[in-house]
Amino acid sequence: MPLSINFSQSARRFSFILLLIFIGLAHFFVDTMLGIWPIYKSLAQLDMAKAGLIVAMGAFIGEGSQVLFGAWSDRGYRKALIILGLIFSMGSAFLAYSSDYGVLFALYLMTCIGSGCFHPCAASLVSSLVPLQRGLLMTIFAAAGSLGLATSQMTFTYLHVLLEGQMYLLVFPALGLAIALACYCFPQNARQMPEQSKSHRATFKDFVAFFKNRSLRLLYVSQVANQSILWGMVFILPDALKILGHTDWICYGGGHFCFIFGAACMMIPGGYLADLYSARQVMLYGGIISCVAFYFILFSAGISVNLVLATLFILGATLALMNPLAVSMGTRMEPDRSGAVSAFLMGMVWCVSEALGPGGVGVMSSLFQDDAPLKALAVLGSLFLVQIYATSCLPKRVPTAQTV
């Protein structure tokens, strides 16, 4: 009997680990596709304002759909939506086949809808695996996405040359993973069944209630400010680094890699710190450090390459850590509506922040004459004050949710 119990526990542990690997790889592919547009718009020399508006509209519609998909996730469609989101996100693999702004918008919108479909469902699944370690598991999940986003620009520029422009080949690994997920039987506690969620189905009233909850409202405001800066930085970083006089390999992939790789490296340690101390404390100190690093980058003309890359690493490590910690904090507050809360703190945040960040710096760049990307980023950086203030007003500790 003891051997049977040990075997059962080992099999269950292996099943959870395998599922976490599958979801991490899927997150890697989805965020790789999201990172292609900023470098493509620079290489294709697209109009900055139009490129920013494409991001703004695509993100508002696509990422805003997380509200809908998060609700469906809580109603028992989690697995199907994760697979569908992975497939739809592959739209960015076809950007290089057209220069028409209408077609480019349709492809980017398809990617954003895939992201909106995938993220709340996958995040709520990961947070349900071991409720007492939500912070750690969410940061592992986020780290996989950050690695995909970090390598996206270098992957695109390298493979575009290697594959002689045949970027559709990027779709096949993702399709293989989608098939593997479809064939994989999710562990019982990773499935949100319809009968389990009848009394907790998300509606518009749920999101109104979230806004009325002071802690969730503060989390939302802090994340809109944080993610606006993050996505605005990702969008215009190649152009900003070019104006600062850095070499092409830094401007077209190297700087972006250090920025996002810093985020990936800090995700898991940040999760440990949040579980050990509090998410609020980690988010507050991270916001202050990232503000200093952000403005140091804007004045990095003539500074050594190593120092610039190190500062980009620190900025990414502190700036991108906030959202997974906020989601884990939110799911602790509302454990029975984890999909809806994930959508609230990701989809409803991203649909606003990706419009305000990339859209804002894109439009502002057309208003300035000299060093427009740098001046646009400097204005956007005022949102650090909003982020730090909202985070400081959060409760110091949220009670740990019990296993259902």
Rounded to whole angstroms, the Cα distance separating 271 from 238 reads 30
Say which residue, 247 or 388, is predicted with more confidence.
388
First to last CA, the chain: 27
DSSP 277-332: S-HHHHHHHHHHHHHHHHHHHHT-TTS-HHHHHHHHHHHHHHHTTHHHHHHHHHHH
Q: How confident is the model at residue 200 (pLDDT cuts 50, 70, 90)?
A: very low
Q: How confident is the model at residue 268 (pLDDT cuts 50, 70, 90)?
A: confident
pLDDT digits (tens, 9 = 90+) for 49-75: 888 889 888 888 887 777 677 777 777
**C-alpha angle with apex 359: 103 to 62, nearest 5 degrees?**
55
Say which residue, 284 or 337, is predicted with more confidence.
284
pLDDT(197) > 70: no
Say which residue, 271 or 81, is predicted with more confidence.
81
Rounded to whole angstroms, the Cα distance separating 234 from 217 reads 26
* Structural tokens at position 398: 């949220």
* Structural tokens at position 42: 């620079």
List of domains in the chain:
17-184+197-392 (1.20.1250.20)
pLDDT(399) > 60: no
Cα–Cα distances (Å) from 259 to 170, 196, 299, 347, 349, in that order, read 23, 41, 16, 23, 21
pLDDT, residue 404, reads 30
The CB-side HSE value for 8 (13 A sphere, CA atoms) comes to: 5
Q: How confident is the model at residue 153 (pLDDT cuts 50, 70, 90)?
A: confident
Would you say 5 and 149 are in contact if contact means Cβ atoms under 8 Å apart? no
Helix orientation angle between 134-162 and 36-43, rounded to the nearest 10 degrees: 30
Would you say 20 and 137 are in contact if contact means Cβ atoms under 8 Å apart? yes
Q: How confident is the model at residue 293 (pLDDT cuts 50, 70, 90)?
A: very high
Q: How confident is the model at residue 1 (pLDDT cuts 50, 70, 90)?
A: very low
Q: How confident is the model at residue 188 (pLDDT cuts 50, 70, 90)?
A: low
pLDDT, residue 181, reads 87
* Structural tokens at position 307: 């120092």
Rounded to whole angstroms, the Cα distance separating 115 from 65 reads 9
Instruction: Map residue 254 onto helix, strand or coil.
Output: helix
Rounded to whole angstroms, the Cα distance separating 319 from 310 reads 14
Residues 6+ positions from 335 with CB-CB distance below 8 Å:
131, 401, 402, 404
Mean pLDDT of 247-253: 83
- Which of 7-21, 38-52, 224-238 ranks highest by mean pLDDT? 224-238
Torsion sign over Cα 297, 302, 303, 304? positive
Rounded to whole angstroms, the Cα distance separating 37 from 15 reads 35
Would you say 362 and 37 are in contact if contact means Cβ atoms under 8 Å apart? no
pLDDT(189) > 70: no
* Structural tokens at position 33: 């596709």
Would you say 345 and 323 are in contact if contact means Cβ atoms under 8 Å apart? yes
Say which residue, 106 or 399, is predicted with more confidence.
106
Rounded to whole angstroms, the Cα distance separating 381 from 27 reads 28
pLDDT(400) > 70: no
